Amino acid sequence: MTLIKSISGIRGTIGGQVGDNLTPIDAVKFASAYGVWVKQQRQKDNYKVVVGRDARISGKMIQNLVMNTLIGLGIDVVDVGLSTTPTVEVAVPMEHADGGIILTASHNPKQWNALKLLNSKGEFVDAKSGAEILEIAESNSIDFADVDSLGVITKNKAYIDLHIIEVLDLDLVNVKAIEEANFTVVFDGVNSTGGIAIPLLLERLGVNVIKLYCEPNGHFPHNPEPLKEHLTDLSEAVKKHNADFGIVVDPDVDRLAFMDENGEMFGEEYTLVACADYVLSHTPGNTVSNMSSTRALRDVTEKHGGTYEASAVGEVNVVQLMKKNKVVIGGEGNGGIIYPDAHYGRDALVGVALFLSLLAEKKMSVSALKKTYPSYFMSKKKIELTPELNVDAILKEIENRYKHEQLTTIDGVKIDFPDNWVHLRKSNTEPIIRIYTEAKTQEIADGLADKFIKELGKIAEA
């Protein structure tokens, strides 16, 4: 397995050969490069980096390697321990730190881990900074601190609570209405740090919480990507307990999905649609999502008098376009809510609070809410990459074949047909080609995806 180095961080599987996987040596190598980069950004006497992790089995090992590498460079470390990606993002500016690292492979299975790298604003480093860090990593010219200049590690376990306080203080979080609604929900924490943070938030909002897989031990009870096929236990629990709805997050709590009172998926694509509908109803403005996200966000934005624009896939790209367009809410169709009034990062805690506020004010069920939105259906499929596949050449051939259609090529190839679309791109987080389609029915969306999978196969064989 080749290490994946992208705008989504340094990601790989644990064990195996150095340079091919995320081994201890690779963790030290890239933590060192990041530490050097941090020191290059600000010429001063003292440096500080916040480090946290999800509950992956390998997390403690990788975190200790990373923290001790940083103090070896003379950088002080704030160890927030078991945390969430958005919590570490919030902690960086609170600590007046120079950066942050989250040890998490997000939705990937348990054998994966990654270093997600933040700048001094608590936002993911951009492509230029990422390239600089990779260049430093390969330079073999890293100077470590002498014995009198080593950094120190300070533990601070308060940041999940502080993060929750910040969420509750947001103007559009209607705490009173949520409390009065007396919701009962089932929450699936996939045995990671969402099992710590989300129940605390829900309890502070007066929600009755039925916990499912909330022990943060890293033994994921199902595939941790919050998709319908992985959530049968949540569906059964919602129906068994007559809950108002279900909630699920991924292991690092930056993706959020809901399940209605009938145990049916609200649709992770519609997490952002619903939250945007709520925010836009109170704060008119514009929106951004990535180009693999549903058209429903565009429709809802235009209904409220705003404009919508799509970015390349990747949180960094979404955030950059959000800032450029001065949007009031944005994110990704994978259930990632980015609400600038909180911070520029995908945040499931913020998403939960906004969604609950919407439901409480509308006084309707989750299934009824879904019916108020434009109905689109997505298919999300993938092709495993092999060394002989020339992805760039394959996508170029697709581009040539469909040059008379509406094309976008800022990130792979997206073809916008009149009634549906297909997006083909190499993943930032896995060795795969992603094939995303959207249409007016699930059958058409699936058929469109299968058509392009066959076409990609024929091109590869040619």
CATH topology of domain 163-370: Alpha-D-Glucose-1,6-Bisphosphate; Chain A, domain 3 (3.40.120)
* DSSP per-residue letters across 248-282: EE-TTS--EEEE-TTS-B--HHHHHHHHHHHHHHH
Q: Please tell me the distance from the alpha carbon of residue 118 to that of residue 121, in angstroms, as a whole number.
A: 8
pLDDT of res. 9: 83
Residue in the block written with tokens 């010219």: 141
pLDDT of res. 2: 65
pLDDT of res. 296: 96
Three-class SS state of 180: helix
Catalytic entry in 8, 58, 83, 106: 106
Residue 232: which residues within 8 A CB-CB, separation 6 or more?
none
Could you confirm whether 106 is annotated as catalytic? yes
Q: What tokens appear for 15 in the block?
A: 């064990």
Question: What does the H/E/C string look like for 302-324?
Answer: HHCCCCEEEECCCHHHHHHHHHH
Q: Please tell me the distance from the alpha carbon of residue 313 to that of residue 320, in angstroms, as a whole number.
A: 11
- CATH number, span 4-157: 3.40.120.10
Name the amino acid, one letter, at 414.
K
Q: Please tell me the distance from the alpha carbon of residue 382 to that of residue 209, in angstroms, as a whole number.
A: 35
pLDDT of res. 35: 97
pLDDT of res. 356: 98
pLDDT of res. 438: 96
Beta bridge partners of 158: none
Q: Residue 322 region, left (φ>0) first, then alpha (ψ -120 to 50), else beta?
A: alpha
Question: pLDDT in tens for each of the 462 residues of the chain?
Answer: 568 887 778 999 999 999 999 999 999 999 999 999 999 998 888 999 999 999 999 999 999 999 999 999 999 999 999 999 999 999 999 999 999 999 999 989 999 999 999 999 999 999 999 999 999 999 978 999 999 999 999 999 999 999 999 999 999 999 999 999 999 999 999 999 999 999 999 999 999 999 999 999 999 999 998 888 899 999 999 999 999 999 999 999 999 999 999 999 998 999 999 999 999 999 999 999 999 999 999 999 999 999 999 999 989 999 999 999 999 999 999 899 999 999 999 999 999 999 999 999 999 999 999 999 999 999 999 988 887 788 889 999 999 999 999 999 999 999 999 999 999 998 877 778 999 999 999 999 999 999 999 999 899 887
Superfamily holding 377-461: Alpha-D-phosphohexomutase, C-terminal domain (3.30.310.50)
pTM beyond 0.85: the answer is yes
Q: Please tell me the distance from the alpha carbon of residue 257 to that of residue 249, in angstroms, as a whole number.
A: 6
Runs of H (alpha helix) within 95-244: 127-137, 159-168, 175-181, 194-204, 232-240
pLDDT of res. 429: 76
Fold agreement (4-157, 163-370) = yes
Domain range list for the chain: 4-157, 163-370, 377-461
